[in-house]
Amino acid sequence: MAVLAFEIELSDMRRGRYETLSFTVAQHPSESEAYLVTRVLAFALEQEEGLAFSKGGLGEAEEPALSVTDLTGRRTAWIEVGLPSAERLHRASKASDRVAVWPHRDASAWFRQLAGARIHRAADITVHSLDLALIDAVAGVLTRRNTLALTVSEDELFLELAGRSFTGALVERPLVE
């Protein structure tokens, strides 16, 4: 299992968040680079007090990739990375005030698959789709120690890593329109 270190200089103009994030993340042997990049970017872009990676990592099937817990220990946000099943989203929506999904690959078939599925508060679930070319490009330059500058302006992501600049769209939409 590879352990990667990240230092991210975050400038999220949409949310008014400007801070430096320093953390390490373990890459599970079954975890693709695209999934890892999406998980790291979701962590940065969902940044708020109480946000944490799941304790068991990908090996913890009942836990989300990321979650926000308040000071009483209650989970207030369930944040999935990938393309979770309708049953998982239903359970997440019942267990948490807010649910977000960050797909790590094309989600068009997933949206069709979920159409008509019984999901608690489906209209309140937000899907944040990152530019897949951006994810793949960033995955190609990751090292054990990564220093990034990440800027978000409206629906555009600007990222600097390893002396290279990347840009891509960030599209937010409800699970059900």
Q: What is the pLDDT of residue 96?
A: 97
Residue 49 lies in domain? 2-174
d(CA 146, CA 153): 22
Q: What is the pLDDT of residue 101?
A: 99
> Residue 40: which residues within 8 A CB-CB, separation 6 or more?
6, 8, 25
pTM of the predicted structure, to 2 decimals: 0.95
Q: Is the pLDDT of residue 87 over 90?
A: yes
pLDDT band at 137 (very low <50, low <70, confident <90, very high): very high
Interior/surface letters 102-111, b for 16+ CB within 10 angstroms, e for the rest: bbbeebeebb
Q: What percent of the chain has pLDDT over 90?
A: 90
Structural domains counted in the chain: 1
Q: Is the pLDDT of residue 128 over 90?
A: yes
Domain at 122, CATH number: 3.10.640.10
pLDDT band at 131 (very low <50, low <70, confident <90, very high): very high
Residue entry with tokens 């948490």: 96
